[in-house]
């Protein structure tokens, strides 16, 4: 627990420091400051009186960060062995979370938002695939009959890609301010691996996403007169080739999420995050849909598999996206996100 020594003489104090975020979404600050000599908080060890803040990005969609200003002891009071202490006090990136987080209203609202967003996405995406399946539905158009499965028919593949892109754009947009609009266990896993949300919140998101996908598939089956939902299957590729496809496609998806929604330097780029995320999913469906369905999302694969009870090669649609999402989170977090301290503006103190 942090305790800060109160010094009445303002001239002996360093500039104010902005701490963000100070909540359970990213793990509480860890370290010691019992003697007012140094401050350790999320990902940063800050020496007293340096005039720099330890700002960190607000996790994707975790809501509003809590900000607090404190006074830091002047630099001349810096312990002589500070460098040694710095080495002894590493700050872990991954936070487990606390039991209180599981029942916090913000967490429950975020879980409900993930459930609804995933339901919206899977209902539209899976519905488009059902509509173009030769065993389910045949559309009559002016030129004749449009038949063929969405995975093999070029027109069906394009329609499926557009349906998924548009639906994901909407699903991410409506959930972004509440939960972050992950809509995908692989995205949640990638954001967790990067240290942006807790393990507990990740598990809660996963449960909500899987339930949303399952409910969407049951609703589709009921509303289409009992037609079976199409499960993901391999076509002309081995399980290992499909695994590589899923890894690469999901890496591109989660990398896009980091670049447009997680990176604290995104600026105005954040406004087009839902569009960019939808576009990369649509493009990947055009690239890999004919081979393995281009899932990139364990929830999208789980719902249809459960409702139709078809589990052939199902592990590929978990292993591939989770590996790809985790790699993207690690690569972007460690190589492209700057964790150096930035100087506070005069408006902050």
Torsion of CA 324, 288, 127, 261, to 10 degrees: 40
Asked whether the predicted pLDDT for residue 204 surpasses 90, the reply is yes
Instruction: Give the residue among 163, 200, 208 at the shortest CA–CA distance from 183.
Output: 208
Q: Which residues pair with 53 in a beta bridge?
A: 342
Query: Which token pair is 86?
Result: 């710095």
Phi (first) and psi of residue 229, to 5 degrees: -75, 140
**pLDDT, tens only, 55-99:** 333 333 333 333 233 333 333 344 455 444 444 334 456 788 888
Higher-confidence residue: 168 or 27?
Answer: 168
For residues 313 and 231, the answer to whether their CB atoms sit within 8 Å is: no
Query: Which token pair is 286?
Result: 């055009």
Higher-confidence residue: 315 or 267?
Answer: 315
Phi (first) and psi of residue 144, to 5 degrees: 135, -140
pLDDT-derived band at 268, boundaries 50, 70, 90: confident
**pLDDT, tens only, 116-164:** 999 999 999 998 888 776 444 444 443 444 444 455 577 878 888 999 9
Asked whether the predicted pLDDT for residue 115 surpasses 60, the reply is yes
Give the pLDDT of residue 300: 96
Overall average pLDDT of the 186-200 stretch: 94
Percent of all residues in the chain with a pLDDT value above 70, rounded to a whole number: 64
When the pLDDT of each residue in the chain is averaged and rounded to a whole number, the result is 74
DSSP string, 115-128: HHHHHHHHHHHHHH
Asked whether the predicted pLDDT for residue 111 surpasses 50, the reply is yes
Q: Which residues pair with 44 in a beta bridge?
A: 41
* Bond preceding residue 268 cis, omega within 30 of 0: no
**How far is Cα of residue 303 from the mean position of the Cα atoms in its chain?**
20
Give the pLDDT of residue 102: 87
Asked whether the predicted pLDDT for residue 269 surpasses 90, the reply is no
pLDDT-derived band at 287, boundaries 50, 70, 90: very high
Return the beta strands (E) in 38-142 as ranges: 39-41, 44-46, 52-53, 68-73, 139-141
Give the pLDDT of residue 229: 83
Domains along the chain with CATH numbers: 99-336 (1.20.1080.10)
Give the pLDDT of residue 69: 30
Instruction: Give the residue among 319, 302, 320 at the shortest CA–CA distance from 311.
Output: 302
**How far is Cα of residue 209 from the mean position of the Cα atoms in its chain?**
12
User: Which of 6-15, 114-123, 186-195, 325-334 is predicted least confidently?
Assistant: 6-15
Q: Which residues contact 68 (CB under 8 A, 6 or more apart)?
A: 18, 19, 22
Asked whether the predicted pLDDT for residue 333 surpasses 80, the reply is yes
* Strand duo 144-146 + 139-141: pairing: antiparallel
pLDDT-derived band at 180, boundaries 50, 70, 90: very high
Give the pLDDT of residue 91: 42
pLDDT-derived band at 226, boundaries 50, 70, 90: confident
Query: Which token pair is 178?
Result: 């509440």
Its sign, for the CA torsion 82, 87, 89, 95, is: positive
Give the pLDDT of residue 175: 94
Phi (first) and psi of residue 87, to 5 degrees: -70, -30
Q: How far apart are CA 281 and CA 313, in angstroms?
A: 21
Asked whether the predicted pLDDT for residue 107 surpasses 90, the reply is yes
């Amino acid at each position: 627990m942090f305790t800060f020594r109160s010094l009445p003489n303002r001239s002996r104090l360093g500039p104010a420091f902005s701490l963000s975020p100070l909540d359970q979404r990213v793990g509480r600050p860890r370290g010691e400051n019992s003697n007012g000599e140094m401050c350790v908080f999320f990902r940063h060890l800050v020496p007293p009186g340096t005039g720099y803040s330890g700002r960190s990005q607000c996790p994707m969609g975790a809501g509003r960060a809590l900000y607090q200003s404190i006074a830091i002891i002047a630099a001349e009071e810096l312990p002589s062995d500070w460098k040694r202490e710095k080495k002894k006090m590493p700050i872990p990136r991954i936070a487990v979370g606390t039991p209180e987080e599981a029942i916090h209203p913000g967490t429950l609202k975020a879980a409900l938002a993930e459930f609804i967003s995933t339901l919206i996405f899977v209902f539209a995406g899976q519905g488009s695939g059902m509509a173009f399946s030769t065993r389910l539905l045949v559309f009559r158009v002016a030129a004749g009959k449009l038949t063929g499965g969405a995975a093999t028919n070029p027109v069906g593949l394009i329609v499926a890609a557009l349906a998924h892109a548009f639906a994901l754009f909407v699903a991410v947009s409506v959930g972004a301010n509440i939960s972050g609009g992950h809509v995908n266990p692989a995205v949640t896993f990638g954001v967790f691996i990067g240290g942006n949300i807790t393990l507990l919140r990740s598990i809660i998101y996963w449960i909500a996403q899987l339930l949303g996908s399952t409910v969407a598939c049951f609703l589709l089956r009921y509303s289409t007169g009992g037609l079976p939902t199409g499960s993901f299957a391999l076509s002309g590729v081995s399980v290992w080739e499909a695994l590589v496809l899923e890894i690469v496609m999901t890496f591109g998806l989660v990398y896009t999420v980091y670049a447009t929604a997680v990176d604290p330097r995104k600026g105005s780029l954040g406004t087009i995050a839902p569009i960019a995320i939808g576009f990369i999913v649509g493009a990947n469906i055009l690239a890999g849909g004919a081979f393995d369905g281009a899932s990139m999302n364990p929830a999208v694969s789980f719902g249809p598999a459960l409702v139709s009870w078809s589990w052939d090669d199902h592990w590929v649609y978990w292993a591939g996206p989770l590996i790809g999402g985790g790699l993207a989170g690690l690569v972007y977090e460690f190589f492209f996100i700057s964790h150096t301290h930035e100087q506070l503006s005069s408006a902050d103190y």
